[in-house]
Amino acid sequence: MTKIIVTRDKSNTIFNEQMKEHYHSLHGALTESLHVFIKTGLHFFGKEKINLLEIGLGTGLNALLTLQDSIEKNTEINYVAIEPYPLSYDVIKKLNYSSLIKINEKKIKKIHLCDFEKSSMITSNFKFIKYKKTLKDLQIKQKFNLIYFDAFSPTVQPNIWHKSNFKKLHNMMEKKSILVTYCSKGKVRRDLELSGFFVEKLKGPPGKREIIRAKK
């Protein structure tokens, strides 16, 4: 079961009652996503073409913010997302993202209702494909410049934060690429380093002291 929650910056998140965890920070869903994934991740690069992998599509907020940035800056983005437990569109359409982000309902609907494992052109510069698979089961040959690691926390979903997954991601990344995540736990940092990453601890969004940006 899911429950819509209004966070401190008035943007919505969802409480997953099975996991007993929110999809975003209660200090501000929009604020958190902008800080962790757009400013720290996407804006690390210039206007060149970006191949991006998101671990945990969830509500689609990160994808929508990336799409908005792509439209504003005319950046070409190839966006790949995995989500083994996708939310129903009946839940998605109750979120208030279309009123907060300059993305119309048609594009939001296309992201969430497009077929799995089939590329969709959301705009002429934004290609999107999603997989209903776990990271462990994902098998694609493509290499990535940027990874959004936005799974549920290690407390409730420890397997996805396993060192073997970080090693797999390292092998899937181009040189001079980055992985960004909201989680800054010591074990996560150490496992990223053991997987070949150089790890930076950066200032977090409201309610979060630090976040991680890991470089290959």
For 132-152, how does the pLDDT look when each residue is reduced to its tens digit (9 = 90+)? 999 999 999 999 999 999 999
d(Cα 210, Cα 208) in Å, to the nearest integer? Answer: 6
Are 178 and 210 spatial neighbours (Cβ–Cβ below 8 Å)? no
Instruction: Give the pLDDT band of residue 118 (cuts 50, 70, 90).
Output: very high
| Confidence (pLDDT) at 121 | 98
For 16-40, how does the pLDDT look when each residue is reduced to its tens digit (9 = 90+)? 998 899 999 999 999 999 999 999 9
DSSP state of 38: I
Are 94 and 112 spatial neighbours (Cβ–Cβ below 8 Å)? no
Element (H, E) at 2: strand 2-6
The sign of the dihedral angle between the CA atoms of 96, 120, 45, 167 is positive
For 156-209, how does the pLDDT look when each residue is reduced to its tens digit (9 = 90+)? 999 999 999 999 999 999 999 999 999 999 999 999 999 999 999 999 999 999
d(Cα 47, Cα 77) in Å, to the nearest integer? Answer: 10
Query: How many CA atoms within 13 Å lie on the side-chain side of 118?
Result: 7
Paired residues of 4 in beta bridges: 14
| pTM tops 0.85 | yes
d(Cα 106, Cα 146) in Å, to the nearest integer? Answer: 26
For 67-114, how does the pLDDT look when each residue is reduced to its tens digit (9 = 90+)? 999 999 999 999 999 999 999 999 999 999 999 998 999 999 999 999
d(Cα 188, Cα 169) in Å, to the nearest integer? Answer: 14
| Confidence (pLDDT) at 48 | 81
Which residue in the block uniquely carries the two structure tokens 């940092």?
189
| Confidence (pLDDT) at 2 | 81
Residue 3: how many other CB atoms lie within 10 Å: 11
| Confidence (pLDDT) at 95 | 97
> Is 210 strand, coil or helix?
strand
> Is 45 strand, coil or helix?
coil
| Confidence (pLDDT) at 65 | 98
> Is 127 strand, coil or helix?
strand
Domains of the chain, earliest start first: 28-215 (3.40.50.150)
Instruction: Give the pLDDT band of residue 60 (cuts 50, 70, 90).
Output: very high
| Confidence (pLDDT) at 47 | 76
d(Cα 124, Cα 6) in Å, to the nearest integer? Answer: 33
Query: Residue 33: phi, psi to the nearest 5?
Result: -65, -40
pLDDT over 80 (residue 14): yes
d(Cα 14, Cα 91) in Å, to the nearest integer? Answer: 9
| Confidence (pLDDT) at 27 | 98
